[in-house]
Amino acid sequence: MSRGALPGWVDYGLVPLLNVVAAFLISGVVVLFIGENPLEAARVLAYGAFGFGEGFGFTLFYATNFVFTGLAVAVAFHAGLFNIGAEGQAALGGLGCAFACLALDRYVPWWVTFPVAIVAAAAFGALWALIPAWLQAARGSHIVITTIMFNFIASALMSWLLVDVIKQQGSMQPETRTFEAGGQLPQFRELIPDLGQAPLNIAAVVAVAALVGVWVLIWRTRLGYAMRAFGLNPTAAGYAGVSAVGITVVAMLISGALAGLMSLNEVMGAQGRLLLDFTAGAGFVGIAVALMGRAHPVGILFAAILFGALYQGGAELAFEMPAITRDMIVVIQGLVILFAGALEHMFRPALIALFAPRAPQPRAA
């Protein structure tokens, strides 16, 4: 280990933990400033997220969304790409999932529709990432700019389709018809009554499989090695025979496919139909999840659960303590994102001084 490098447990565990603690301490000051008890607010938030079956089910449901979008951003990170377009890619993934369900739900059971929906959601998400990837690799367009633009294009496209093309006949709502049983995933609450009305469903199993699959891809395959090499040093990777165009396109296709899979949890799992703006910002939360999780599947899992807890516990907090509004919950989430992203290296110099090994000093003659 070179001078300045941190042990893995510090880099991947202690640094994110300190960032989260700092974010919650600042949030506590904000809560105290508005006249509420920060310790009581923390207790309510934790209870709402983990203290009873239904709350825990909602936490895991939200975390499932963030696992998919966090992995999407992380895969692009490893190839040196900053994919801001997971929101749009997830929306187009929902379109593919809905097409599969609308075509099959009246003829086959859900377990036949599900694999088709997985392929369709991944394919639509990947195709939506293909154009920004090609523009970056072949034309020099910056991936951040193009993926942001494609988020807005995806939003406009979904609005047009859900208002003028695939909207349910006779309805004023921008949504498709509700899928029949063959297009809806079983809910875990059917097996675990303590989950109450939490919409946790089999898409969570796909999320766990995606975590394992990304770990194998990045650290156990030649493609993953090429992606990491290109992300660390594109020039050296080029000399080693790695195609810049090829690795950029492949990495973004995988990233877009993972983002598209997020739609399974919402479209086929929770809602049973395609709604406008069903992503609800999960693609952008995935950026914070990937940053906090250090682009590693294990870290992404814990970061996704944290943000799921903030979503669910924040709703409980706003209900139990009316002075803390939903806007305050957004502030807390924003502070976590701030410390996980922009201030991610704030504690690093002190930790390097404390934990990094020192080079041996030369002995006097």
Along the 365 residues of the chain, how does pLDDT read in single tens digits?
344 577 877 777 788 888 888 888 888 888 888 888 899 989 999 999 999 999 999 999 999 999 999 999 999 999 999 999 999 999 999 999 999 999 999 999 999 999 999 999 999 999 999 999 999 988 888 999 999 999 999 999 999 999 999 988 878 889 999 999 999 999 999 999 999 999 999 999 999 999 999 999 999 999 999 999 999 999 999 999 999 999 999 999 999 999 999 999 999 999 999 999 999 999 999 998 998 888 999 999 999 999 999 999 988 888 888 888 777 778 877 887 787 766 667 777 888 888 876 545 556 65
Q: How many CB atoms lie within 10 A of CB 247?
A: 24
pTM across the whole model: 0.92
Q: How far apart are CA 203 and CA 189, in angstroms?
A: 14
